Structure 1
Amino acid sequence: MTPLEIISLVCNMWYFTLLLFVVSAYYGQAYKAAVVHYYPAVGTTAEETILKNMNEYRKYANKAKSKGVDIIVFPEYGLVTTSALANPGEYSLEIQSPIIAQIGTIARDNGVYLVVNLFERIDDKYYNTNLVFDRNGTLILKYHKSHLYNEFGLTPGTPNQTITFSTDFGVTFGIFTCFDMLFANPSLRVLEGGNVTDVIFVLGWLPSYISLSIQHGYCVANGVNLLAANYGRHIDGRSGTGIYLSDGKVAKVVNDSVKSQLVVREVPPKSLETEKTCPRSVKEKTHTVVTTSKYYFHDVDLTKKFTSTQLCNGNFCCTFQVTLDMRQKNPTDIYKLMIFDDSVSYDKLEANFRICTLLACRNEFVDSCGAMANVTSTFKRISVQGNFTKDNSTFYRPITLHTSLSPLTPTAYCQANSSVHLGTKNQKGVIIFGIFERKDTVSERRDDIDGARNSKIFLVLTWGRPYYFAFFKSSVFD
C-alpha cells in the first residue's frame, strides 16, 4: 500500500467507527427483551391472588435472567386477574405497599428492567397502573391507563402523564395500555420528539382474533420496535403476545397457547429510516370506478388475473389493485373489497373511522367477510391506497390477517400527505388486507346506531369486544 492509500483506509475506518457511535447513541444498542404471555393464578382472597402471581413473576424473571434478558414485560391484569374488575377496591394497592416493594426486589435480584400492571389506590380512587422498575429495583415510572374499556370502578389517567423512560442500554421506551392503542394520545404522543424508538404495550386484549394484527399495524405505521404482553385467558379469547421489529418483521409471537409462555428475543436498534416514496396506482384499461355509500362491498372476480377498482364515497376514495396467481387460485374462494366511512360506537363513545380493505368471505353474505375462511388462493400482488384525512387528530394504520391469525408479512407501507399506501406480494391465505383511519375525537354514544355501525365486519376490523360471544366463538371456530 502506498502512504496515500494507508491514510485513506485509516480515514475510512475512523469515519465508519464514528458513524457506528452516532447510530448507537441515537438509536440505542441491541438488547434482549422478554414478554410474558401469562395465564394468572387465582387465590381465595385478593391478597392471595396478588401474592401467588407475584411469585410466578419471580420465577419468570429468574428464567429471563438466565437468558441474559435486559427488560421483561408482564400483561395487563396479570397480578390481579380480570376478576378484580368487579371490585377494584379490594385488589388495589397503595404505592407504598410492601407488595410493590417486593416487586422491586424481583427487578433488583435479577438485574432487569421490570414492567408490571396492577390496580393502584390513591385516596378514594382506583387506577389501572403500569409500574416500571430499573435494574436496581427503583420505581422509575408510573402510568395510569388513559382510556378505560368496561372498567367502571376505575379512574382514567390524566392526558399529560409522563409516558417514556430511558434505560442504561441506550433505548428510550414509551408505554401505554390496551385500549389506549386506539387513541392518538397516548399512542402517538409517546413518539413526539423522536426520542422514543421502542414501545411497551401492556394489554388484556379481547378477542385474540385480531390482536396480533393490531400490534403489528402500530409497529409498521410508526417504524418502532414493539414489546406486547397480553393476558392469557383462552376461554374468553384473550390472547396474542409478541415482539415486533421496526422494519415490520414479526420477531416472535404467541397466539394459540393455552398456558403461560416466556417470549425472548434480541431486539436490534431501530432501523435507519430511508425516505419512502408511495407508488402511484396505475389505472389499467380494466379500471373500474364505483360511487358508493358510506358502507359498501364490491366483489373480486377470481376468474380474472388482474382487478383494478376504485371505490369512492364523496371525496374519500379507496383504490385497489389485485393480481391473482392463476395457477394457484381456488375458484370456491370468495373475496370482496370494502370501503367504510362513518362513525362507530363502542362502549359509551362514538368515533369516526375510515377503512379500505380486501376481505375473504365465508359465503356471499357480507357479514361473513373478515371471519375465518378456508381460503387458499395465492395473490401475486395486492395494493390498497386511500386518500385519508390529513390533520393532527387523525392517524392511520395497516390491518392484515392471515388464516394462521398472524399478520401478513412482508408489507410495504407509506404515507405521503393524505395518501396512504399498503402493498404486499406473493401471499396465500389472506383474510384481511387493508388500512384504517381513526379520527381522535370522540363524543357520547348516540342511540340512533344503524346496521352498518354494528356490523360484525366493522367490529372485527377495529375492536371486536361488543360482538365477541356472538361472533368469535360461533364463526371463527365452528
Structure 2
Amino acid sequence: MLVSKVFADSEQSMKKSLSVWRVLRLALLLLLSQIVNKSEAQYVNASNFYTAGVVEFRPTIAGMSSADLVAEHLKAYLEIITSSEAADVDILVFPEGTLNNALQLTYVPSERQKIIPCSLRNATEYAEFLVALSCAAAQVRKYLVINLSEKEDCPATPADTRPCATNGLNVYNTNVVFDREGRIISRYRKVNIYVENKNTTLQPEYGMFDTDFGVRFGHFICFDMLFYTPAQELVHRYGISDLIFTSLFYSELPFLAATQLQQGWAWGNNVNLLAAGASNPRAGSTGTGIFSGRKRALASVMITSGEGERKLYKARVPKKGTLDFDYEMDYENSMRGEEKLNSSTGRHLDGMRLLKDPQIVNFNSMLLPLGQRIFEKICHQDFCCEFSLESELVEAHNNTPSYKYRMGVFSGSRSYEKDQRNNIKVCGIYSCRNDQPESCGELWESEEFNSEVYLTNILIKGKFPKAPELLIMPSSLDANLNPLMGGEAYWKYEPQNKHIDVDVWLHGRRRDIMTFGLYANYYNSGVGSRVLNKMLAIFLGVIFIFRVKQ
C-alpha cells in the first residue's frame, strides 16, 4: 500500500515535472522564435534604410589669409569625415559656402568625364582641397557632398554669348558629389542666386546621382528651395524622393526660418531631405536637419546664439516605397539638435540676426482673443481660411516680456531680392511683440520671455486653388526656432476638382508656439516664369513694331 502510494506520488510528481518542462520548452521555443524573427526583421529592414550625416559647419570668417582659411576649413572637413561618429554613415553632406572663397577657386570636371581627382598623377588644374576631399571619400568609402566656388573658362560654353568677366572666367556656386571611390559623379551649379557675385549657367542644370544602396538623389543649393526650377522640378518632373540641400540660409520670421522651411518642404512633398547649414548665428545663418516625409524631424538643429558650431548630425533614413517610410518611428533615441523648452519661457537668442517677412503688415489679420474658444473665418482677396482653437490665460511673470498672437491670411506676390518674386497664399497663427501688426515676426531680445497663454487644439483649414506648379506645406515654429510638425501636429490633404482642401492641426496645449499654419508657393514668378514673361514681352514687342510698320 505504501509502495503504491509512493509510486502514485512519484508518478504525479513526474507528470507535474513534465508539464512544467513542456511549458518551459514552449516558452523557450517562443523566445527563440522571437529572437530569430527579430533578427530576420532587423536584417530585412536594414535594407529599407540608409544612414545619412549632415554637418552644421561654422566657417572661419577672418584673421587669416584666404589660403589659410581654406586650409583650416579643409582640415576641419577631414576631421569630421574620418571621425568615429561618421563611421557608419553612407552619405555625408557639408553646407554651402564653408570651404573655399573667391580668391581660392578651382576647376571642377563634369560627371561625364568620370574623373577621380585623387588618382590623377598631375592634377594641377584642380585645387588641392578638391583632390584631398576626393581622397578622403575613397579612404572612408562614403558618398560625399560638398559645396564650393568653382571657376570655368568662358570659352568652355561657346553658346553662351553673355558678357564675360575681364579675367575670362565664370564663377559658379557649385555642389560636387564624390562616390565611394572618390569619383566626381555629379556637379550642380546654383540657378537662383541670392545677393551673390556669381554667374549662372545659360540653361538651368539639374543635380542627380545614383548610389549603390539603391537611392537616387537630387541636390540643390539654398535659395533654390523657394523656386520651381530646379528644386521642385526634381520632385515633380523627375520623381526623385531623396533630396540634398546645401545652404547658407538667412532665416525669416514668421514663416521661413531655416529648419521650419526644410521640414515644411519635405512634408509637403512627402520626400526625404538631407539639409546641411552654415553655422554663423550672428550673421543670421544656421539650420541643419534630416527630414523624412510626414514625420517628426529625424535630426534638427538651430544654433541661435554664440559663434555657431561644427558638428555632425546623423540618422537612419527610411527609403521611399518601403513600409518603414510610412511608419512613425520611436524618436526618443534619435539625434535631435534642439533643446527641450521650459513650459513657460524660451531661451535667449543672443544677437541672432533674423529677417522679417516684408508682407506681414499686409496680411488680413486679427488679434487673437485670450481666454476663450475661437472660431473665425478670415479672407484676403478671394482666399479664405478657417481657424478653430482655445486660448487659456496663465499668470505672467512680472517684468518678463510676453508675446501676443495674430490670426492672419495673405494672398499675393512677395519679393526676395532683385526681381525674384513668388505668388504665395498663407494662413496661420503667429507671434507679435505687441498688439500691432508691425511687431509680428519680431523677437524679444531679453534673457527670457514669458507666454501668457496656452494655445490648445489648433485647427486651421485652407482651400487652395489648384495650379500646375504648386507646393503647399505646413509651417510651424516653436520658441527655440524648431519645427513642430509630427508627434502632436498633423495635416490632411484632399485634392478636389478645382482646389485642394488642407487642414493642419495641433493636438494638446502648447505655450511655446511662434508660428503654426499653412504656406503655399505657387512658383509662377520663378525662373521659368521670368523667362516666359521676357519671351512674351519680346513677342508682343515684335508684333507692335510689325503693326506700326504696316
State the TM-score bracket (shorter-chain normalisation).
Answer: 0.7 to 0.9
| In 1, Cα distance between equivalents of 2:422 and 2:251 | 20
- Which residue in 1 is equivalent to 2:231? 187
| In 2, Cα distance between equivalents of 1:44 and 1:130 | 25
| In 1, Cα distance between equivalents of 2:86 and 2:427 | 46
Of 218, 243, 247, the residue aligned with 1:174 is 218
- Which residue in 2 is equivalent to 1:248? 295
Render the CA deviation track for 1:5-58: whole Å, top value 9, x for unaligned: xxxxxxxx99xx99x97x98xxx6322222111112357443333232122211
When residues 332 and 252 of structure 1 are mapped into structure 2, their CA distance, relative to the original with a 3 A threshold, is closer
Q: Give the stretch that moved more between structures: 166-175 or 253-262.
A: 253-262
- Does 2:190 correspond to 1:154? no
| In 2, Cα distance between equivalents of 1:151 and 1:332 | 37
- Which residue in 1 is equivalent to 2:347? none
Q: Aligned partner of 2:477: which letter?
A: L
- Does 2:474 correspond to 1:398? yes
Deviation at 1:263, TM superposition (A): 2.7
Q: Report if aligned partners of 2:370, 2:392 keep a CA contact under 8 Å in 1.
A: no
The percent identity for this pair of structures is 27
| In 2, Cα distance between equivalents of 1:61 and 1:362 | 43
- Which residue in 2 is equivalent to 1:322? 389
Q: Specify the SS of the correspondent of 1:120.
A: strand
Q: Give the stretch that moved more between structures: 216-225 or 128-137.
A: 216-225
When residues 147 and 419 of structure 1 are mapped into structure 2, their CA distance, relative to the original with a 3 A threshold, is same
| In 2, Cα distance between equivalents of 1:139 and 1:193 | 24
Bigger radius of gyration, 1 or 2?
2
Of 317, 329, 334, the residue aligned with 1:268 is 317
Deviation at 1:438, TM superposition (A): 1.6
| In 1, Cα distance between equivalents of 2:393 and 2:63 | 57
Render the CA deviation track for 1:144-166: whole Å, top value 9, x for unaligned: 111000013332573242x2222
- Which residue in 2 is equivalent to 1:415? 493
| In 2, Cα distance between equivalents of 1:423 and 1:329 | 26
Q: Report if aligned partners of 1:146, 1:159 keep a CA contact under 8 Å in 2.
A: yes
Q: Report if aligned partners of 2:143, 2:180 keep a CA contact under 8 Å in 1.
A: yes
- Which residue in 2 is equivalent to 1:104? 134
Q: Give the stretch that moved more between structures: 152-161 or 395-404.
A: 152-161
Q: Report if aligned partners of 2:173, 2:190 keep a CA contact under 8 Å in 1.
A: yes
Alignment of 1:307-456 (within 5 A): 307-325=374-392, 334-348=404-418, 349-372=420-443, 374=449, 375-410=451-486, 411-417=489-495, 418-426=500-508, 427-442=510-525
Q: Give the stretch that moved more between structures: 432-441 or 317-326.
A: 317-326
- Which residue in 2 is equivalent to 1:76? 96
| In 1, Cα distance between equivalents of 2:236 and 2:435 | 44
Of 92, 100, 105, the residue aligned with 2:105 is 92
Q: Specify the SS of the correspondent of 1:179.
A: helix
| In 2, Cα distance between equivalents of 1:351 and 1:328 | 42
Deviation at 1:326, TM superposition (A): 6.1
Of 241, 245, 265, the residue aligned with 1:197 is 241
Render the CA deviation track for 1:88-117: whole Å, top value 9, x for unaligned: 3x3321125042222110111111111100
When residues 29 and 153 of structure 1 are mapped into structure 2, their CA distance, relative to the original with a 3 A threshold, is same
Q: Specify the SS of the correspondent of 1:188.
A: helix
Q: Specify the SS of the correspondent of 1:60.
A: helix
| In 2, Cα distance between equivalents of 1:71 and 1:443 | 31
Deviation at 1:196, TM superposition (A): 2.9
- How many pairs were matched up? 403
Q: Aligned partner of 2:504: which letter?
A: L
Q: Give the stretch that moved more between structures: 346-355 or 177-186.
A: 346-355
Of 27, 31, 35, the residue aligned with 2:50 is 31
| In 1, Cα distance between equivalents of 2:370 and 2:284 | 33
Q: Specify the SS of the correspondent of 2:525.
A: strand
- Which residue in 2 is equivalent to 1:453? none
When residues 66 and 241 of structure 1 are mapped into structure 2, their CA distance, relative to the original with a 3 A threshold, is closer
User: Any gaps of 5 or more consecutive residues in structure 1?
Assistant: 1-12, 275-292, 445-478
- Does 2:121 correspond to 1:121? no
Could you tell me the TM-score, scaled by structure 1's length? 0.76
User: Any gaps of 5 or more consecutive residues in structure 2?
Assistant: 1-35, 109-124, 154-168, 328-360, 528-550
Of 72, 75, 82, the residue aligned with 1:52 is 72
- Which residue in 2 is equivalent to 1:232? 279
| In 2, Cα distance between equivalents of 1:29 and 1:173 | 16
Could you tell me the TM-score, scaled by structure 2's length? 0.67
Q: Report if aligned partners of 1:378, 1:428 keep a CA contact under 8 Å in 2.
A: yes
Deviation at 1:372, TM superposition (A): 2.7
When residues 157 and 129 of structure 1 are mapped into structure 2, their CA distance, relative to the original with a 3 A threshold, is farther
Q: Report if aligned partners of 2:393, 2:452 keep a CA contact under 8 Å in 1.
A: no
Q: Specify the SS of the correspondent of 2:83.
A: helix
Deviation at 1:356, TM superposition (A): 0.4
| In 1, Cα distance between equivalents of 2:290 and 2:204 | 27
Q: Aligned partner of 2:52: which letter?
A: A
Q: Aligned partner of 1:115: which letter?
A: V
Render the CA deviation track for 1:221-241: whole Å, top value 9, x for unaligned: 122222111111232121111
| In 1, Cα distance between equivalents of 2:133 and 2:270 | 32
Q: Give the stretch that moved more between structures: 378-387 or 115-124.
A: 378-387
Q: Give the stretch that moved more between structures: 220-229 or 435-444.
A: 435-444
| In 2, Cα distance between equivalents of 1:381 and 1:311 | 18
Deviation at 1:325, TM superposition (A): 4.5
- Which residue in 1 is equivalent to 2:267? 220
Render the CA deviation track for 1:115-157: whole Å, top value 9, x for unaligned: 1000111112111000011111111111111100001333257
Q: Give the stretch that moved more between structures: 98-107 or 54-63.
A: 98-107
Q: Report if aligned partners of 1:144, 1:157 keep a CA contact under 8 Å in 2.
A: no
| In 1, Cα distance between equivalents of 2:402 and 2:274 | 39
Q: Specify the SS of the correspondent of 1:76.
A: coil
